Amino acid sequence: MNDGKKSHGGAKRGPSSKKSPRVTLIEGDGVGPEVIGAAISVIAATGVSIDWDRRSAGAAAMRQYGTPVPDALMESLARTRVALKGPLETQVGVGYRSINVHLRKAFDLYANLRPTVSFAGVHTPFRDVNLTVVRENTEDLYSGIEHEVAPGVVESVKVITARASTRIAKFAFDYARRMKRKSLTAIHKANIMKLSDGLFLKCARGVAKRYPDIKYSEQIVDAACMRLVTNPQSFDVLLLENLYGDIVSDLCAGLVGGLGLVPGANYGDKGAIFEAVHGTAPDIAKKNLANPIAAILSGAMLLDYLEHQREGDRIRASVGAVLRSGKTLTRDLGGKASTTAMTESIICAFART
């Protein structure tokens, strides 16, 4: 089992400074304020001082400002270029477009990184999972180009470009080399979408030639999903287009105990947003029941980015120690602990590391 200690830095770090870095804080909707509050408490326990610029988005902002993405939020992100974010409500089939997609495109956060590891003490049918999903973040069907051709007929356009495909492949290979990973698998459906996914593969192959130390392979997405649930240990770094990456990253989270355990980060050349990848869970909001680990581990990735990797590693070690003990687990992990109790246990474990 992984002990959770390994750093998951995904991009070049922010500049060093004696001054407390200013970071945009988006608590989010539903359980967001609770889990982000937990992450802030754990970060505070590390001794790293952060100047949080609190901003509203999503359903909360819609109620207050009449828009899910207020100008004040966008201005804050333009200044800080880094954020810690909770889950945001997106209605299905109606309403405003995904705010997550909007923010990623607005700030060109083209790389989504989802490290997924097994923790001792979390009971699943799978052991020793240690893989990372690298997902292209700005195009594919998520470009949002769709229209009604005729009554009852809707057309959505899949956009794949050489520029975006090449830079996400380079990001993935750079990550694999920096983290001393041994292999990278490009996942696709080029047997059907020969032009779009074919271009994605062509670009990945071109980049792979520059990294002879990383074993490169390819797999069709449906076959990859079957292999993930039969032999997940055979994967190392997974490189995917936007839609496949969205689906496969959640599948991978299921291998290790669920979305409550998996952090997420979105990187661009000039900024990053770190976020809990689970939903808003309105059924348990304000009940002190949510698992805060995904948000806490996302906070650890934020510390890596701000060049406080030692503190980030200690947070991961503390989370691993709490899970390994099995004494303080939230309901999604088979226990009865509250959000507050798990947070306090992680802070206590941090003090002992």
Give the CA radius of gyration of the chain.
20
Instruction: Answer for the pair 188, 201: CB distance below 8 angstroms, yes or no.
Output: yes
Distance between CA atoms of 135 and 237, rounded to whole angstroms?
11
The one catalytic residue among 108, 189, 211, 215: 189
| Cβ atoms 141, 156 nearer than 8 A | yes
Active-site residue identified among 51, 128, 222, 269: 222
* Catalytic choice (29, 53, 110, 142): 142
Tokens representing 51 are: 């100047």
Q: Active site residue: 65, 96, 211, 250, which one?
A: 250
3-state secondary structure at position 48: coil
Q: What number of helices (H) and strands (E) belong to the chain? A: 11, 12
In whole angstroms, give the CA distance from residue 306 to residue 329. 29
> Does the annotation count 222 as an active-site position?
yes
250 is annotated as an active-site residue: yes
**DSSP letters spanning 303-320:** HHHTT-HHHHHHHHHHHH
Q: Check if the beta carbon of residue 42 is closer than 8 Å to that of residue 350.
A: yes
> DSSP assignment, residue 2?
B
The answer to whether residue 142 is catalytic is yes
246 is catalytic: yes
SS3 content of the chain, % helix, strand, coil (to 5): 40, 20, 40
Q: Which of 29, 53, 174, 246 is labelled catalytic?
A: 246
Residues serving a catalytic function are 142, 189, 222, 246, 250
